[in-house]
Chains A and B, each alone.
Chain A
């Protein structure tokens, strides 16, 4: 296998352009537009190379790897408990949710389960991560479409959730709180009352955003019918989370698989939308934040008594085997395929992150759209760069 030279790459781009779904009858001189690596719409260092014909995209592709940190290689030289500090940093807005599937995979291989109280608190912190993550998305969405106000509201109200996460775990962004066999600590006193108040504030935030943004005519005209993903295409590309549900696929790992977590102890709903466009994706996420506040509200009332940690050896050796555990993270399905050889550390960890699959559809989706719609589509697909590059 030889690498492609630059000339080959260019001729490849030209060949792609020739069969792109755009009208080339009125031929104009094409131009290449680089969006990023530093651009407000890229949430980090993602570079989008777009070849344009007038205002239309002929060919576009994200250029990834500016932030690749090699976590899959690094896990091979860490012990199992040390891996959580790495995977915290994959989706940095919902860090706690990254730890959970890895810990569950390790527990599955060891044949142990966290005590009921730990499972319950895990689920609460997991949903708080989702609220912190997706509420920032709702604010950021506005700023990318030209509305400044929502992002300030989002940062204001996300702070309440981060304070809760900090109060329970000690870390605002990287809690590193989940342990094989349970949790590092119990909840602090007064935390549950505080959480109850914050959930009320977050529901008010959702109402505000819905009034301000989703009911806005400009917002609707910028997002409705833009970047439509049909159902079967979404499944072929392995889209997950709100992106999949906005294409009419009723699939949520919190409901559709059974894990030692507490989601089935609350009454909540999985929202779907049949349009598959940018508006649908944003709308499903808004409903998800509301459902998450409901889950948290119900779970904090029913936390069972008992220890938060089961008995595990100080030096953890995980028996030989392979395990796959995926959870419904803020960005979508996040899974770990863990291979253990009975050692202190994993033999191989395949990190299946949601944004990698979610972004892999962009070369297909961006063909033929107008330049401002690139930003809308990227914003509505919602990715975190650390979740693409890992």
Chain B
């Protein structure tokens, strides 16, 4: 149990209870509050009892979702980033570079709270009085990855959106300063997209990839440790 500064006690994690939490009323209430504030803009939601909340909102309601989160008391901006759900066509760099590359399954499968697009923007905001956080997700169209900026809602989103722009190529409409954060101005491509190859790995497979084999004299093949 964790204490809020006002002395209230919240069940935060299943680790402290003996029986697994099946229904998490505190976190379900968070989803209800967002649903009543945003109406049908909440597309999907997912609550992992005793752990966390995921809420996916409609693309055109992204800024409104941020404003609603602030009004609901989630005043602490934690981070904003993106996820590219397409599995990498290059695998994990374990291929022999002299052989032709194998065919890989690049079927897109989104995570918690679902999704319809390859790219999703993910942000986390926290209510510091109750210690509850919310992961907000939003789909970003594949052909024109544009989404409203959160800078006018949470000033701290500025750098995070610049990073998401250069790493994933997602444009944030209304961002006051859409320059690259880390990369040189003339850098081509968006490195954290899954179809951006990690060239060092493609030229020469990393030897550490075989490190997961058992050590000599290390007991049976699939069990270890005391």
Contacts and interface: CB of A to CB of B under 8 A. Distances in A.
Contacts of A194: none
A305 interface: no
A4 to B, nearest CB: 6
- The winner among A64, A312, A389 for most chain B CB atoms within 10 A is A64
A311 B192 CA distance: 34
A23 interface: no
Given A68-B182, A256-B2, A361-B156, A345 B92 contact: yes
B224 A313 contact: yes
Interface in A311-341: 311-316, 321-324, 326, 333, 335, 337, 339, 341
B155 A236 contact: yes
Interface string B180-207: 1111111000011000001001000010
A128 to B, nearest CB: 24
Interface string B192-226: 10000010010000101001101000100111111
Interface in A65-81: 65, 68, 70, 72-74, 76-79, 81
A360 to B, nearest CB: 4
Contacts of A250: 5
A359 B182 CA distance: 14
B79 A357 contact: yes
A236 B77 contact: yes
Given A68-B182, A232-B75, A314-B223, A113 B191 contact: no
Contact of A322 (B12, B112, B218): B112
A172 interface: no
A72 B160 CA distance: 14
A337 B122 contact: yes
A237 interface: yes
A258 B225 contact: no
Contacts of B159: 356-357, 359-360
A364 B156 CA distance: 10
A352 interface: yes
Contacts of A3: 179-180, 185-186
B200 to A, nearest CB: 9
Contacts of B51: 108, 323
Contact of A310 (B77, B83, B225): B225
B191 A70 contact: yes
Contacts of B2: 255-258
A9 B179 contact: yes
B81 A350 contact: yes
Nearest to A356: B159
Contacts of B75: 232, 235-236
Interface residues on A, range: 35 or more
B218 A314 contact: yes
B198 A314 contact: no
B81 A337 contact: yes
A70 B189 CA distance: 14
B155 A233 contact: yes
Contacts of A361: 156
Given A76-B88, A250-B5, A313-B224, A4 B185 contact: yes
Interface string A355-370: 0110111001000000
A257 B12 contact: yes
Interface in B12-38: 12-13, 15-16
Interface residues of B, number: 69
B192 A73 contact: yes
Interface in A1-16: 1, 3-4, 9, 12
A12 B128 contact: no
B1 interface: yes
Interface in A232-270: 232-233, 235-238, 249-251, 255-260
Interface in B60-85: 75-79, 81, 83-84
A324 B131 contact: no
Contacts of A113: 15
A307 B79 CA distance: 37
Nearest to B88: A76
A256 B132 CA distance: 10
Contact of A73 (B122, B198, B212, B224): B198
Contacts of A314: 212, 214, 218, 221-224
A309 interface: yes
B87 A237 contact: no
Given A76-B92, A258-B16, A339-B111, A350 B177 contact: no
Given A82-B208, A258-B13, A352 B87 contact: no
Interface string B28-54: 000000000000000000000001101
B191 A339 contact: no
Contact of B206 (A77, A257, A312, A324): A77
A260 B12 CA distance: 12
- 6 A-B pairs closest in CB distance: A65-B182, A237-B156, A360-B159, A352-B79, A258-B13, A238-B77
22 contacts: A1-B178, A3-B179, A4-B178, A12-B177, A70-B191, A78-B208, A79-B212, A237-B77, A238-B76, A251-B128, A256-B2, A258-B2, A258-B12, A259-B15, A314-B222, A314-B224, A321-B112, A322-B112, A337-B122, A344-B212, A352-B124, A389-B182
Given A65-B182, A237-B154, A348-B83, 15 more contacts: A1-B165, A1-B178, A65-B183, A73-B198, A77-B206, A235-B75, A235-B76, A256-B2, A258-B12, A309-B225, A312-B225, A341-B109, A344-B92, A352-B124, A357-B159
